Structure 1
């Protein structure tokens, strides 16, 4: 768990080839301090080919703004857009799909 996108990105960069430390899934909020979800994804897409494992990314937000949803759909590294609050059934489905 990280408080902001920059902290999360630094962790991923530090552990590029560590399959144990790298997460299987990232639940990424749009609104975070220092580096928001979209800024994180701009950097994540650049390092994704260097990662030692596949990481599935979901954008999570309370925003129902069609612009946010469309912007998310344009980023191929994001699997889906989830509107908060996240229902337990949705989380179970995400985990089962791994």
Structure 2
């Protein structure tokens, strides 16, 4: 089973954040989480971690629709970051708009697009398929 050392949740939905953390902890997939409620805080946090040589997450679960800086704006900044570490990134959104689904395919940084609501079995099945470089 894949073990994820650290997950970064970027979402303004506190219920979603709580649920994902609970699923990952009880499934023993991950115990360490960083949470940001908008893209601007997340990109600033990641830049700081990279610059200061702090721990960088293995996995990012990113919502699209958030205040201040949305997921697309975050991705535009994220792809400029310079790090040798492979970070697996999933869009996790309630959007089923074909425009969003197609736009996600334009970013090579995105592993996949997961539609909310997410279930325990779907999340575990998805994350067990990823290769986290330790």
TM-score relative to the length of structure 2? 0.66
Of residues 53, 56, 62 in structure 2, which corresponds to 1:28?
Answer: 62
The equivalent of 1:69 in structure 2 is 101
Q: Name the CA distance, whole Å, in 2 between partners of 1:3 and 1:61.
A: 14
Q: Name the CA distance, whole Å, in 1 between partners of 2:95 and 2:127.
A: 23
Q: Name the CA distance, whole Å, in 2 between partners of 1:23 and 1:90.
A: 21
Gaps of 5+ in 1: none
SS of the residue corresponding to residue 80 of structure 2 reads helix
User: Residue 55 of structure 1: CA displacement?
Assistant: 0.7
> What is the aligned-residue RMSD (CA, Å)?
1.2
Q: Name the CA distance, whole Å, in 1 between partners of 2:39 and 2:58.
A: 17
User: Residue 67 of structure 1: CA displacement?
Assistant: 0.3
Runs of 4+ in 1 over 2 A off after TM superposition: none
The equivalent of 2:73 in structure 1 is 39
In our comparison, the structure showing a higher alpha carbon Rg is: 2
Aligned: 1:57 with 2:89: yes
User: Residue 95 of structure 1: CA displacement?
Assistant: 2.8
Gaps of 5+ in 2: 1-34
What per-residue deviation string (whole Å, max 9, x for no partner) do you get for residues 56-80 of structure 1?
1101111110000000011111000
User: Residue 15 of structure 1: CA displacement?
Assistant: 0.7
User: Residue 12 of structure 1: CA displacement?
Assistant: 0.4
Structure in which a larger fraction of residues adopt helix: 1
